[in-house]
Amino acid sequence: MRTLSFAALSVIQARASMQFAVCSMLLLLFPASVQADHPSPGLGSGMAGPINTLSAETLSQGQWTAGFRTEYLELDELSNSKLARLSENGKAAHSTDYLISPSIGVAYGVTDNFMIAGQLPYVKRRGIREAAHHDEEGEHEEEGEHEEEGGGVEKLGDSEGIGDATLYGQYRFFNDDSSGLQAAVLVGVKMPTGETREKTNEGERFEAEHQPGSGSWDPLLGLAVSKPWNAASLGASILYTHATEGSQDTDLGDGVFYGLSLAHRLGTGGSHSNHDHGSHAEWDAVLELNGEWRDKVDIDGADDNNTGGHVLFIAPGVRYGAAGGWAAALSVGVPVINNLNGIQSEPDWRVIGNIGFAF
């Protein structure tokens, strides 16, 4: 097995931190979202290449990173006839075609074990529909109109705008040089910077859960563990977000997000156990399990039973780290568990991609 001097190891560790930061800052998206048609929190990538699971590794002191991340979520939309039947039975439900959410992020290493970071997303929901509401007096007349318009379903349109910014700090409280085992805690807050007054095609205000921003201050707390093993790396993380009441007297609900990752360095790119990131390009193959549990939306003290639930994605991906200080990653997720409350548009698949730079 190859051995490294202390000085050489220090240089290699600094390069590893730079490689990690390039990817991780593109993936730190923590919206206060609780429904299937909301963005998922994209967590930081570790030294072995995880894309959605938060890594325990932090930036080196004085390092900066900046990057761009995009998530596309395809949804199994509800048909017009199903929405109309639900409305006739007194059940409110909506459907969304897809969601796309790009974001920008920056981070700074205050010390070798503590970094601060922030990100700002843009959120777009496409093709929001819901069953039309009607009163009893005009019921028969409106039913005729509903048949002509596709089962009485209102096409509300698209909702898009700046989302809520997140600011957080990550502290690595355990770092064993001999085994490579690391552990870190993350504390932060999502701030109400997003748009909360987007309107439908008819000029009415979208409900709070369809707005790009929540209008609430939401604290978050996370824990991450990373362990390199020769050319592979294992990682695990959990994040809890506490939603408070925001716009339109709406509490979008707490969330728990967890991840397990296995990454493998391809070719002769080096050994993760030695933090061996040389001056050449590197490829990592990644396999992750990413789960999300979301509480129900609370509107003025009443739960919306068609919100919240548990989704688990299996997500293979690949990460490329260039010798010039930039990196890119791509992950494709497919749900293996779709246990949602009530009637919702279930996730079909999602793609998360990012590119970023360290300096």
**Direct distance between the N- and C-terminal alpha carbons of the chain, in angstroms, rounded to an integer:** 32
Please tell me the predicted confidence (pLDDT) of residue 132. 67
Q: Is residue 1 included in any domain, yes or no?
A: no
Whole-angstrom Cα distance, residue 173 to residue 252?
A: 32
Would you state the pLDDT for residue 275?
39
Q: Tell me the C-alpha to C-alpha distance, in Å, between residue 322 and each of 195, 254, 272, 283, 284.
A: 36, 38, 16, 9, 12
Kindly state whether residue 112 falls inside one of the protein's structural domains: yes
At 94 the pLDDT is 85
pLDDT at 144: 41
What is the model's pLDDT at position 30? 37
Q: What pLDDT is recorded for position 279? A: 60
Parts of the chain with a pLDDT under 50? 1-35, 40-48, 135-150, 273-278
Q: What is the pLDDT of residue 323?
A: 82
**Would 111 be classed as within a structural domain?**
yes
Does residue 284 belong to any structural domain of this protein? yes
Q: Are 164 and 37 in contact (CB under 8 A)?
A: no
Note whether residue 349 is domain-resident: yes
Q: How many domains does the chain have?
A: 1
pLDDT at 90: 67
Q: Which domain holds residue 297?
A: 6-354
CATH value at residue 167: 2.40.160.40
In this structure, is residue 119 part of a structural domain? yes
Give the model's pLDDT for residue 36: 56
Sheet holding 297-299, edge to edge: 250-251, 297-299, 302-304
Torsions phi, psi of 120, nearest 5? -135, 120
Report d(CA 166, CA 119) in Å as an integer: 5
Which residues partner with 305 through β-bridges? none
pLDDT value at residue 50: 83
Amino acid identity of residue 127, one-letter, is: G
Q: What was the pLDDT predicted at 133?
A: 58
In a domain, 359, yes or no: no
Contacts of 239 (CB under 8 A, 6+ apart): 30, 41, 43, 54, 186, 220, 221, 222, 255, 256, 257, 258
